[in-house]
């Protein structure tokens, strides 16, 4: 098969799966836009001339890290949901005679197209709506409005590199999943019911401890600028605690309700 045929199949697949692909694409664009605008603040040349410049730079740098971690989690989760809905389609390709390397090329073109569209639209949206986001962030952080909104090329380059890396990782995960699967299992994958999720008391308690510790730090700290390192640690604890409680704590709660006599 020629490469043009793989590209056509990839575009047809994206069109046929637009109900799941469009929300995934919007999530990607939103993550790119948020990360890009935070980088614009971080690399603003006027930041170094402001009072407390070192604290502001640290705060925006921590914001970049937080949004980067958030984007990684969101895109991996939405990608796994998207691929789960497409198991039957991938299995059908195998039944029709396409080898796994052919399917890998189709998925590669889909990922390349998605990455190009998400990064391009996200960066353009960051430039168009960056001023509004810039003013909102300055208001939330109580930063003086003397700082001007300036688009820096470095922010666009770093944003593109980060999300290209994330899309590459999602592609490698998808290819590994297809390599370890068999066509019959893929065909039956979309028809199989959800398995009962497993939960761990240890993970649940760790989630509660992390969430409680994060909120306790956030409440006891006067302002983020006065204790930026503790504020950053609190945000990480809240992210970890929320994830642990949703993946394990909610399951434990539902199982306890299921076993109770009044449920």
Are 166 and 254 in a shared domain? no
227 is in which domain, residue-wise?
197-263
Are 175 and 203 in a shared domain? no
Are 240 and 203 in a shared domain? yes
Element at 10 (helix H, strand E): helix 3-16
Q: Please answer whether residues 164 and 55 qualify as being in contact, where contact means their C-beta atoms are separated by less than 8 angstroms.
A: no
For residue 24, give the nearest of 100, 110, 87 by alpha carbon. Answer: 110
Query: What DSSP designation does 249 have?
Result: I
Give residue 263's pLDDT band: very low, low, confident or very high (50, 70, 90). very low
Are 58 and 164 in a shared domain? yes
Per-residue pLDDT of 49-87, as tens digits, reads 666 667 667 777 777 888 888 889 889 888 888 887 777
DSSP track, 201-238: HHHHHHHHHHHHHHHHHHHH-S-TTTSHHHHHHHHHHH
The residue among 163, 178, 193 that closes a domain is 193
Are 188 and 249 in a shared domain? no
Are 53 and 103 in a shared domain? yes
Its pTM stands at: 0.75
Structurally, the chain folds into a number of domains equal to 2
Per-residue pLDDT of 107-128, as tens digits, reads 888 899 999 999 999 999 888 8
Q: Please answer whether residues 26 and 33 qualify as being in contact, where contact means their C-beta atoms are separated by less than 8 angstroms.
A: no
Are 238 and 155 in a shared domain? no
The residue among 173, 193, 213 that closes a domain is 193
Are 237 and 112 in a shared domain? no
Average pLDDT of every residue of the chain: 77
Alpha-carbon distance values, 39 to 103, 170, 206 (Å): 36, 23, 32
Per-residue pLDDT of 199-252, as tens digits, reads 677 777 887 888 888 878 777 766 655 566 677 777 778 878 877 777 776 676
Residue 47 pLDDT exceeds 60: yes
């Amino acid at each position: 098969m020629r490469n043009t045929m793989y590209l056509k199949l990839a575009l047809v697949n994206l069109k046929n799966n637009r109900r799941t692909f469009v929300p995934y694409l919007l999530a990607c664009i939103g993550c790119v836009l948020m990360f890009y605008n935070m980088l614009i603040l971080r690399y603003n040349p006027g930041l170094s001339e402001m009072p407390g410049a070192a604290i502001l730079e640290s705060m925006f740098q921590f914001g970049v890290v937080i949004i980067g971690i958030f984007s990684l989690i969101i895109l991996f989760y939405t990608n796994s949901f998207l691929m789960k809905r497409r198991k039957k389609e991938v299995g059908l390709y195998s039944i029709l005679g396409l080898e796994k390397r052919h399917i890998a090329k189709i998925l590669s073109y889909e990922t390349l197209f998605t990455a190009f569209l998400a990064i391009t639209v996200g960066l353009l949206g960051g430039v168009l709506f960056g001023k509004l986001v810039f003013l909102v962030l300055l208001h939330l952080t109580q930063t003086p409005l003397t700082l001007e909104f300036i688009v820096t090329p470095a922010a666009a380059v770093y944003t593109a590199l980060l999300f290209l890396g994330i899309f590459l990782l999602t592609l490698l995960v998808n290819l590994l999943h297809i390599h370890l699967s068999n066509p019959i299992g893929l065909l039956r994958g979309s028809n199989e019911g959800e398995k009962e999720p497993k939960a761990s008391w240890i993970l649940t308690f760790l989630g509660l401890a992390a969430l409680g510790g994060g909120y306790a730090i956030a409440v006891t700290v006067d302002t983020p600028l006065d204790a930026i390192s503790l504020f950053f640690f609190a945000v990480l604890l809240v992210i970890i605690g929320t994830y642990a409680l949703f993946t394990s704590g909610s399951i434990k709660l539902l199982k306890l309700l299921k076993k109770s006599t009044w449920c």
